[in-house]
Amino acid sequence: MLSILREEGTIHKADWIDGSIVDWDDNVQEYVRSKSHTIALKCIDKNENMSDAYLQEVK
């Protein structure tokens, strides 16, 4: 995992091994998942004085 410290918080890079849920399979009664992929996790340390650019990046 890669971590980047920024003024507004910390950004972590991680591998989502199971993948996101894309559907439900009624036959086997379980979720259908996408394949694994890399995601960004953002931890916001402060909520005051956040720049508009950072908030747009979080979207």
Vertex 4, ends 55 and 50: CA angle to 5°? 25
Looking up tokens 């950004």 gives 11
Residue 54 tokens, joined: 């950072």
Mean pLDDT of 49-55: 67
Of the ranges 11-15, 32-36, 43-47, 55-59, which one carries the lowest mean pLDDT score?
55-59
Element holding 40 (H helix, E strand): strand 37-44
